[in-house]
C-alpha cells in the first residue's frame, strides 16, 4: 500500500487529506487508524506512540470521538448496560443520547423502553 498525506502545516489534522492506494490500484480515503498513524509520523506528539499502548486496547479514554477505538468502547459499554439493565448509569450524562441512538439503530431498544415505561 502507498499512503499519500498532505503535510501542510496550516491544515487542521481532522481536515488533513490522507489517501491510500491499495495494491489492486484502488484509491480510497484513509481509515482512522491509518490517519492517526500518518499524523503521528509527520506531526509527532510527545508521549504518544504509533502503536497503541496495551492499556488502551480495551478501555480507551483519550481517543477522538469518531475514532474506531472510541466507538468500539462505547458499543461494548452500551451492550453491557443493556445486558444488565443498568440504564441509570448513563441517564443524566451526555452519553445517554448516544446510547439511545445505538439501541435504536441496532434494533435493541426494547430493554430501554421497558425501563422507561416502568419508571413512570
| Residue 55 binned pLDDT confidence (cut-offs 50, 70, 90) | very low
**Is the confidence at residue 56, as pLDDT, over 80?**
no
In the prediction, which pLDDT does 52 show?
55
**Is the confidence at residue 100, as pLDDT, over 70?**
yes
Q: Taken in order 55, 16, 1, 45, is the CA torsion positive or negative? A: negative
**Alpha-carbon distance 69 to 8, whole Å?**
26
In the prediction, which pLDDT does 119 show?
81
In the prediction, which pLDDT does 25 show?
92
Q: What is the pTM of this model?
A: 0.49
Cβ-Cβ contacts under 8 Å for 63 (sequence gap 6 or more): 56, 69, 70, 73
Backbone angles phi, psi at 103, to 5 degrees: -65, -45
**Alpha-carbon distance 96 to 87, whole Å?**
8
- Residue-wise pLDDT for 8-52, tens only, equals 889 898 889 999 999 999 999 999 889 988 888 888 887 766 665
**Helix H segments across 4-67?**
32-42
In the prediction, which pLDDT does 85 show?
93
**Is the confidence at residue 65, as pLDDT, over 50?**
yes
Burial of residue 38 (CB within 10 Å: 0-12, 13-18, 19+) is buried
DSSP assignment, residue 44?
A: P
Amino acid at each position: 500500500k502507498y499512503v499519500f498525506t498532505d503535510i501542510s502545516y496550516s491544515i487542521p489534522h481532522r481536515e488533513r487529506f490522507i489517501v491510500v492506494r491499495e495494491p489492486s490500484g484502488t484509491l480510497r480515503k484513509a481509515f482512522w487508524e491509518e490517519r492517526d498513524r500518518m499524523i503521528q509520523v509527520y506531526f509527532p506528539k510527545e508521549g504518544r506512540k504509533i502503536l497503541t499502548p496495551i492499556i488502551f486496547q480495551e478501555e480507551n479514554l483519550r481517543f477522538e470521538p469518531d475514532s474506531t477505538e472510541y466507538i468500539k468502547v462505547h458499543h461494548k459499554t452500551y451492550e453491557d448496560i443493556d445486558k444488565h439493565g443498568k440504564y441509570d448509569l448513563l441517564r443524566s450524562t451526555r452519553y445517554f443520547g448516544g446510547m439511545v441512538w445505538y439501541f435504536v439503530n441496532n434494533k435493541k431498544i426494547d430493554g430501554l423502553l421497558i425501563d422507561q415505561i416502568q419508571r413512570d
